[in-house]
Amino acid sequence: MSLLLNGLAASSGITIAPAHLLVESDLSITKQHTADKNHEVARLHDSFTLSKTELQQLYQHAHEKLGQRAAAIIDTQIAILDDPTLQTKIIDRINNHHDTAEWAVKKVEDYYLNVFERMNDNDYLHSRATALRDVTKRILSHLLNVPLPDPALLNQRAVFVAKNITPTDTAQFDRRYVAGIVTANGGRTSHFTIMSKTLSLPAVVGVRDATKIIHDGDMLIVDGIHGKVIVNPSNEEIEHYQLLAGEFAQEQQKWGALKDKQTVSADGRRFEVAANVGTFADIIDAQEEGAEGIGLLRTEFLYMNRDELPSEEQQFLAYKRFVSAMNQQRVVARTLDIGGDKQLGMVKLAHEDNPYLGFRAIRIGLARPEILRPQLRALLRSSVYGRLAIMFPMIATIEEFQQARAILDEEKERLVRAGYQVAKNIEVGMMLEIPAVAVMAEHFAKYVDFFSIGSNDLVQYLLAVDRGNQQVAYLYQELHPAVLRMVKQVIEAAHAEGKWVGMCGEMASNPLAVPLLMAMGLDEFSMSSSQILRVRSLIHQLSTRKLQPLVHRAINAETTAEVQKLVREYVPELKI
């Protein structure tokens, strides 16, 4: 009997392959001290030798199959293992404190993690702390005789099933063998989801108890389009999904031809499909996938893993790089958006019971001008190198927008007086995430140059649902008629004032939402780069005029399920 598990669709595509469980190893240490020092030192040496052999194999593997970037992560781990100082420190602990080898490793790891924590480190993705942790995990696995899960050692096509997948896990993937991913934790917008989209792997996340229900070797169908996992499917189910997977692959082939094309609907209306980016590497992906601009530049990366705020000069150099790389295509930079689920070491935020409703984003920016002002100055200075637009996150009231805008104008004037070049017509807009703003959109539209709908937060606030909480995640419904009504109202209000509207949440690339959004007249769709060509292809096939009755019926529907059914009925082009 097949078993259907529901989760959240995290990355498109369908895959059929056996399950491979990645079980986290239990590396807890029970014995901390011992009298037999020599024995411990010998054990330590053995564990280093074994770890090194493994890492060398992994290096070969990553180098040959994943390229230099993945191999570099392993290379650093080998250098750590070879470090004479590290070994000496561990042996000293064994000799002077009578530590067991594993306890000594743990203590020295703690020492370095402590040192790292106290200093600047903007290399957030493959940071030194991650590298060190991965090495000590491997050493401990040998000392404790507990094997580590090793994604790189997989040698046949399989679907990874895990509680969580870390960036280091993904760096060890063999693309030929990793057929898909199923995780028990994680929401649609978690870091991992974004990674799997970049790797274009079918993925379903938030599948409750996935690692308990699914066993190694179980046959799985992973439907990353609808967020379903079928365990031990019947022959009919396999045939059905093979057909769907084939159609999806055919579609994918067509997308390549659209890379350098503009996004135009079948009835000739022009749209902009842009990319969401958070690092400079993302810009390269965006260009490779044919982005027509950057709809969301997350500036948080400049602030991550460091002890002090980045200087105006550092920020200026970074923004200049982004803006000039996009030539004359628009780059919409969002000012610092922290708080909620995003914390920063250097900006100490008090614990809050309701961080999503608390001190975050522009609320921090307005209260702490020493953070906002240098950022705005740096952005303004970068504006002459391309086409920059600036937006403020989490605006709730017109006064907030006016205040933020006034600070921006003040800094602009100061810069000009000080002799800096600043572009003349920088568009200044805001994220639209708070339902109150949507209700008042006709008034806000008079003051802004554009809105960018942050659908992730808007849906969350509108349906009062925490998307990270698995027990209520099902209520996170982007196609809920209330969401659609709100979006429609915002677009109409903005257009009445001659302003444009973009969307930079996950909804903008949801294939069921795109037909509705384009028919409502959304001007700009911004998304992770891997989704761009799929959305452009869809828009090319559809006519906004013919979709008008669908919009009418969808906003008058009673439930999300009804909306989904309507979209499928009106848009047969959505085969899957």
> Burial level of 459, CB count in 10 A (0-12/13-18/19+)?
buried
Parallel, antiparallel or unpaired: strands 178-183 and 330-334: unpaired
**Locate tokens 């999806």: which residue?**
248
Tell me how far, at minimum, the Cβ of 251 lies from other proteins, in Å. 37
Binding of other proteins by 267 (CB under 8 A): no
Binding of other proteins by 281 (CB under 8 A): no
Of 1, 26, 35, 84, the residue at the interface with other proteins (CB under 8 A) is: 84
Residue 184 to residues 159, 206, 336, Cα–Cα distance (Å): 13, 5, 31
Tokens of 554: 């969808």
20 among known catalytic residues: no
97-136 positions binding other proteins, by CB under 8 A:
112, 115-116, 119-123, 126-128, 131-132
For residues 140 and 144, give the distance between their C-alpha atoms in angstroms, rounded to a whole number: 6
Size of the site for other proteins (CB under 8 A): 26
Confirm or deny that 334 is annotated as ligand binding. Answer: yes
Binding of other proteins by 153 (CB under 8 A): no
Binding of other proteins by 52 (CB under 8 A): no
> Strand, helix or coil at 461?
helix
Of 29, 72, 384, 440, the residue at the interface with other proteins (CB under 8 A) is: 72
Binding of other proteins by 317 (CB under 8 A): yes
Backbone CA torsion sign across 117, 121, 123, 128: negative
Confirm or deny that 467 is annotated as ligand binding. Answer: yes
Binding of other proteins by 314 (CB under 8 A): yes
For residues 134 and 256, give the distance between their C-alpha atoms in angstroms, rounded to a whole number: 38
Residue closer to other proteins (CB basis): 83 or 209: 83
Tell me how far, at minimum, the Cβ of 430 lies from other proteins, in Å. 29
Spell out the alpha helix ranges (H) of 338-382: 362-367, 369-382
Confirm or deny that 456 is annotated as ligand binding. Answer: yes
Phi, psi of 117 (to 5 degrees): -65, -30
- The closest of 21, 567, 14 to 237, measured between CA atoms, is 14
Binding of other proteins by 300 (CB under 8 A): no
Confirm or deny that 164 is annotated as ligand binding. Answer: no
Binding of other proteins by 312 (CB under 8 A): no
Confirm or deny that 93 is annotated as ligand binding. Answer: no
504 among known catalytic residues: yes
Of 29, 75, 199, 252, the residue at the interface with other proteins (CB under 8 A) is: 75
Catalytic residue among 191, 215, 240, 443: 191
Residue 450 to residues 148, 248, 429, 533, Cα–Cα distance (Å): 50, 35, 5, 24
Tokens of 8: 């959240």
Binding of other proteins by 208 (CB under 8 A): no
The one segment of 1-9, 313-321, 382-390, 461-469 that binds other proteins by CB under 8 A: 313-321
Q: What's the one-letter identity of residue 48?
A: F
DSSP characters over 393-461:
SS--SHHHHHHHHHHHHHHHHHHHHTT----S--EEEEEE-SHHHHHTHHHHHHH-SEEEE-HHHHHHH
Which residues line the annotated binding site for Mg(2+)? 433, 457
Q: Which residues bind other proteins (CB under 8 A)?
A: 72, 75-76, 79-80, 82-86, 112, 115-116, 119-123, 126-128, 131-132, 314, 317-318
Active-site residue list = 191, 504
Query: Binding site: residue ranges?
Result: 298, 334, 433, 456-457, 467
Q: Which residues are annotated as a binding site for phosphoenolpyruvate?
A: 298, 334, 456-457, 467
